[in-house]
Amino acid sequence: MGKAWLTDAEEGSVDLLVIAAECSGDELGAELIRDYRRLRPSALVYGIGGPNMAREASHFLYNLVDHAVMGVWEVLKQLPFLLRLQREIVRWVAAVRPRLVCLIDSPALNLRIAKELFQRAVSRKGGGNVTICYYVAPQIWAWKAERRFALAHYVDSLAVLFPFERSAFADTGLPVVCVGHPFLRSDSPVRYAEDGALLLLPGSRKDSIRRIFPTMLACAADPAFGQLPAVTCIYPTEPIRQLLVSQIVAMGESLSARIRLISAEEAQKNPVDARLVLVGAGSMSLRCALAAIPGAVVYQTHPLTCWIGRRFLRISRIGLGSILLGYEVYPEFLQKDAQPGPIAAKLVQFLHAADDFAAFAEELRSAMACHGPLPAEWLAEI
């Protein structure tokens, strides 16, 4: 980790540091940096995130996305590494004093960073000269609502994606701006097509993929889907591609011969046509719902994480589309219910349900509509 932090940045020379800890945050961070540098062409922007941010930042410090985890048990396994990384980031910020630090999502790491910068009198709220902004609010409407007060205590400004989130922070005094969801202003890497493939989207976290991708593959092997032209899987990074390949090979040649692996970068240039989708929990379930692709959510996590989630979560669904609309968009097959037979049977019912999902997509777009500034404009104003 040490060599990644050897930069020639002098104190006060960096205009903006953006930190993202997983793939969706890396995409948001790349868009944010690209637009910010258009507004401020001379700005010196540093990044900690993934390959997308690496292409856009003036200087890239560390690829954090390859270490992305989700869930209590998964975080505990990586805790020593995450704590070392947190210390390195705080040390760098304290030494370089960028004018702005933008933390994207991932509160398990980013709220800790904000707290330590406050305690070390680096951030403005702690008495220093570094402005701390937070982009993509923690899902306080789902669990741990008290985090809103921590954000208000340590952060100077918050940008949220959904209009309803502003009211969730009304009792904190924290300046909150709705910048809208990027899915509404960007081209989709997936689209519905009647002659499209069965699309598998197991996510970007290795632990989660190891649990759910074999189930997805077993479902894809069902004879009912032999009529579809192919089985397509989109992967975000090369390490994830290698993990997917190892699991595909384990399924045997009859299925592996039908599977196409496409990088997220290629899918963004040439959208993937899909008739049905199996997707893990996360932002891609929302992307697919907006694209009106019929399908289902498949998710399994460590039993400890599941137990804690069921004990403390204030929501009954995990798919973002279903949460936003208040009713089921994608049926959810979770933990022991994630069995290939029932999943395949449900997907077969959706082979001719395109009109229903098109209606869901329109409702989602209305629910997500926001007329605030762009994320880069929000930062530039600060």
Amino acid at 10: E
Average pLDDT, the chain: 88
Domain spans of the chain? 2-178, 190-367
pLDDT digits (tens, 9 = 90+) for 300-343: 765 555 545 555 555 556 667 788 888 888 988 876 777 889 99
For residues 90 and 132, the answer to whether their CB atoms sit within 8 Å is no
pLDDT digits (tens, 9 = 90+) for 17-41: 999 998 889 999 999 999 999 999 9
Separation CA 201–CA 331 (nearest Å): 15
CB atoms within 10 A of CB 63: 17
Return the higher-pLDDT residue of 75 and 248: 248
Domain over 190-367 is classified CATH 3.20.20.80: no
Using the CB atoms, write b or e for 110-141: b if 16+ within 10 Å.
Answer: bbbbbbbbbeeebbebbebebbbbbbbbbbbb
pLDDT digits (tens, 9 = 90+) for 80-125: 777 888 899 999 999 999 999 999 998 989 999 999 999 999 999 9
Domain 2-178: give its CATH code.
Answer: 3.40.50.2000
The one-character DSSP state at 185 is T
pLDDT digits (tens, 9 = 90+) for 222-252: 998 988 989 999 998 899 999 999 999 988 7
pLDDT digits (tens, 9 = 90+) for 200-226: 999 888 888 998 999 999 999 999 898
- The predicted model gives 2-26 an average pLDDT of 81
Domains 2-178 and 190-367 agree in fold:
yes
Terminal CA-to-CA distance of the chain, rounded, Å?
32
Separation CA 292–CA 166 (nearest Å): 27
Separation CA 339–CA 292 (nearest Å): 24
For residues 166 and 180, the answer to whether their CB atoms sit within 8 Å is no
pLDDT tier at 188 (50, 70, 90 boundaries)?
very high
Asked whether the whole model's pTM tops 0.95, one would answer no
pLDDT in the model for residue 68:
55
* Edge-first strand listing for the sheet containing 100-104: 59-63, 45-49, 16-20, 100-104, 131-135, 157-160, 176-178
